[in-house]
Amino acid sequence: MSKPNSVRERGIYILPSLFTTAGLFAGFYGLIAAVQGRFELAAWALIAAAIFDILDGRVARLLHAESDFGAQYDSMCDMLSFGIAPAVLMYMWALAPLHKAGWMAAFLLAAGAALRLARFNVQLDTQSKKYFNGLPTPGSAMLIATAVLFHEDAGLDPIAWLWFAISVALAWLMVSNVPFFAGKDVDLKQRKPAIILLVMLVAIAFVMTNPHTCLFILVLAYVIHGVLLGITGRSRKDDGHSGGQPPVDEPAN
C-alpha cells in the first residue's frame, strides 16, 4: 500500500523538474545556435526557456511540490538560460565588432545575472508579490531575444555601441534596487470586469499580428516602466513603504 504513495510523491517532485530541465535544454540550444550564427533561432529558444521557467514554478505550486532542491536547480538552470546564453547571443549578434569592449559588456551581462540570482537566493524570507527588486534575469534575456527578432524581421543591423550601452544598463538594472512589476498578487481565479478579458484578447491579437515587433515593444515597455517606477518611487507607496529599498522579490529570478 505504501509503494504507490511513494511513487506518487516522487512523481510530483519530478514533474516541476522536468519543466526546469526543458528550460535548460532550450537555453543550451539557444547558446549553440548563437555560436553558430543562427540568431533568430537562438532568440526563439530563449523565449521557450522563459516559458518553461514560468511553468515550472506554477506547476510546483499547483502540486504543492516546492522544495529547496527545486529552487536551487531552477537557479542553476536560469544562470545558463538567462545569464550565459543571452550574453553570448548579444556578443555574437551585436558586440563582436567592438572586440575587447564587446566581450567585456557581454561578461557584465553574465555577471549581473549571477549576482541577481545569488541575491534572491539569500533573500527568500522577505518577499513581495507585487514587485521584483531589480530586473529579473528573464526580463534581461527577453529584451535581448526580442531585439534580435525585431532586427531580423525589419532587416536592420544592430548598432554595436548602442547595444554596448544597453548591455551595461541591463547588467546594472539586474543588480539594482529598481522595482519591476511582478504581478504575483494577481488572482486570475477571482471575478474580473469583462473589460479585463477584452484587453487581454486584444493584447494577444496584437502580438499574433507581428510577434517579432510586438514582443520587443512589450518587453521594452516593461523595462522602461520599471525604470520610471524607480524614478518616481511609486512602488514604495503602492506596497506601503515610505522609504528605503523597495521590497525584495518573490523568488522568480
- pLDDT above 60: residue 186: no
State the helix-helix crossing angle for 194-209 and 211-232, rounded to 10 degrees. Answer: 130
Instruction: Give pLDDT, residue 239.
Output: 56
pLDDT 10s digits, 46-100: 999 999 999 988 888 888 778 888 888 999 999 999 999 999 999 999 999 999 9
Question: Lowest-confidence range among 37-46, 55-64, 167-176?
Answer: 55-64
Query: 128 in helix, strand or coil?
Result: strand
Question: Which cell numbers hold the place of 179?
Answer: 522595482
Tens digits of residue pLDDT in 113-163? 999 999 988 876 666 667 888 999 999 999 999 999 999 999 999 999 999
- 239: Cβ–Cβ under 8 A, 6 or more apart, which residues? 128, 130, 131, 246, 247
Cα–Cα distance for residue pair 90/95, rounded to 1 Å: 6
Task: Pick the more confident residue, 234 or 229.
Answer: 229
pLDDT on residue 11: 45
Name the average pLDDT for the chain. 85
Positive or negative torsion for Cα 157, 147, 180, 29: negative
Whole-angstrom Cα distance, residue 82 to residue 86?
A: 6
User: What's this model's pTM, rounded to 2 decimal places?
Assistant: 0.84
Render 199-213 in DSSP notation, one character per residue.
HHHHHHHHHHH-HHH
The pLDDT value given to residue 61: 80
Tell me the three state secondary structure of residue 123: coil
**Helices 100-121 & 160-175, crossing angle to 10 degrees?**
20
pLDDT of residue 181: 82
The CATH code of the domain at 2-238 is: 1.20.120.1760
